[in-house]
Structure 1
């Protein structure tokens, strides 16, 4: 799994969540909701500055964006591309199929 964060999304996270160099955001799956690739589960996030056993991690502008090994089930087979949706003034999450089994 690969995580990609666009420049615009990085700016949103820094501005809206007060993130700075050395800080982090953990992404995980939660019960209820829907994504383009899951029914009954949705994407959640939380500030977390201490990745422990990351399954995937990307650093952008000094901020760590990551998924823990325990949340592999939610992301397996997909890369996560995090962009910014100006009309909603929020991040946009795109799941891109990969070759992971």
Structure 2
């Protein structure tokens, strides 16, 4: 499993989350909402240091990662992060 960040999403993180070189962006399973993978759970994103890093992608020295405790959520799928051009919001898709 891996994380794929589109150029538009990378720019979104820099502008909207003010992500800077050396910082960590975590993707995590959160209770509530729904996704194509799990009813009752959705994907969250936050800026924080890793505790038990399992998957990592480094782009422009920004660390995008998933903790070991959240791997179950992805069920073996790669995480693709993009931006909806009309809503200017992150979108997530999952591919095996």
- Is 2:11 aligned against 1:11? yes
Equivalences, count = 96
DSSP-derived class of the 1:94 partner: strand
In structure 2, how many angstroms separate the alpha carbons of the residues matched to 1:6 and 1:61?
13
Deviation of the 1:75 alpha carbon: 1.5
DSSP-derived class of the 1:92 partner: strand
Q: 2:37·2:74 contact (CA, 8 Å) conserved in 1?
A: no
In structure 1, how many angstroms separate the alpha carbons of the residues matched to 2:39 and 2:11?
30
Deviation of the 1:32 alpha carbon: 1.2
Q: 2:53·2:65 contact (CA, 8 Å) conserved in 1?
A: yes
Listed as ranges, the gaps of 5+ residues in structure 2 are: none
Residue aligning to 2:76: 77
Deviation of the 1:77 alpha carbon: 1.3
Normalising by structure 1, we get a TM-score of 0.89
Listed as ranges, the gaps of 5+ residues in structure 1 are: none
Deviation of the 1:55 alpha carbon: 1.5
In structure 2, how many angstroms separate the alpha carbons of the residues matched to 1:32 and 1:17?
22
Normalising by structure 2, we get a TM-score of 0.94
